[in-house]
Amino acid sequence: MGDRGRVLEALYAAVDDVNLLLPPRDRLAKAEATVLLGDAAHLDSLGFLNLVLAAETQVNARCAPPVNLAERLLELDEASLPATLGALATLIVELQGS
């Protein structure tokens, strides 16, 4: 499994964590195409924050080097935020390589 595969595995574990907090209709699918932000997203701002925190925790528990995902997202403008799980995985892989 490559870096991206391990990151996705960690993200899906984070999705499991966050789904415990969400009503059934809003639960996230474990797929790269799952929308996180925008009109088509089921997550509100709290849900997105919970996913980011869970993702950072899961990624750093499973993959090296550790990433500072939450603070990196604070530096991005709204249009640059990852809008799907796949885009979030891409950002994490970039952070690991930087």
Partner 1 sequence: MTDAWRVVLISDFNVASLGGLLENDDAPPRVEVTVAPFGDVGATLLDPAHPALAGGPDAAVVWTRPEGVIPSFGDVLAGRDTALARVERVLDDVDAFAARLVAFAARVPRVLVPTWVVPTHVRGLGTIDLRPGGVARTLLAMNHRLLQRLDDTAAIVTLDAQRWVATVGAAAHDARAWYMGKIPFAADVFREAARDCKAALAAGAGHSRKLIVVDLDDTLWGGLVGEVGWEALALGGHDPIGEAFADVQRTLQALRRRGILLAIASKNEEAVALEALQRHPEMILRPDDFAAWRIDWGDKAANVAAIARELNLGLDAVVFIDDSPAERARVREALPQVLVPEWPEQKLLRVAALQSLRCFDSVAVSAEDRARGDLYAAEHRRTEARTAVTSVEDWQRSLGLHVTVTPLRRPDLKRIVQLLNKTNQMNLRTRRTTETELAAWADGGGRRLWALRARDRFGDAGLVGVVSAERIDAEMRIADFVLSCRVFGREIERVMVHTVVEHARAEGTATVVAEYLPTPRNLPTLEFWRRSGFDEESTASPAGPATRVAFRWAAARPYPAPEFIAIEHAAD
Q: Does 20 bind partner 1 (CB under 8 A)?
A: yes
Q: Does 77 bind partner 1 (CB under 8 A)?
A: no
Q: Is 74 exposed, middle or buried (0-12, 13-18, 19+ CB in 10 A)?
A: exposed
CA nearest 12: which of 53, 47, 59? 59
* Residues contacting residue 1 through CB under 8 Å, at least 6 positions apart: 9
Q: How far is the CB of 56 from partner 1 (least distance, A)?
A: 8
Q: Does 23 bind partner 1 (CB under 8 A)?
A: yes
Nearer to partner 1, 4 or 30 (CB): 30
Q: Which residues bind partner 1 (CB under 8 A)?
A: 17, 20-24, 45-46, 49-50, 53-54, 56, 70, 74
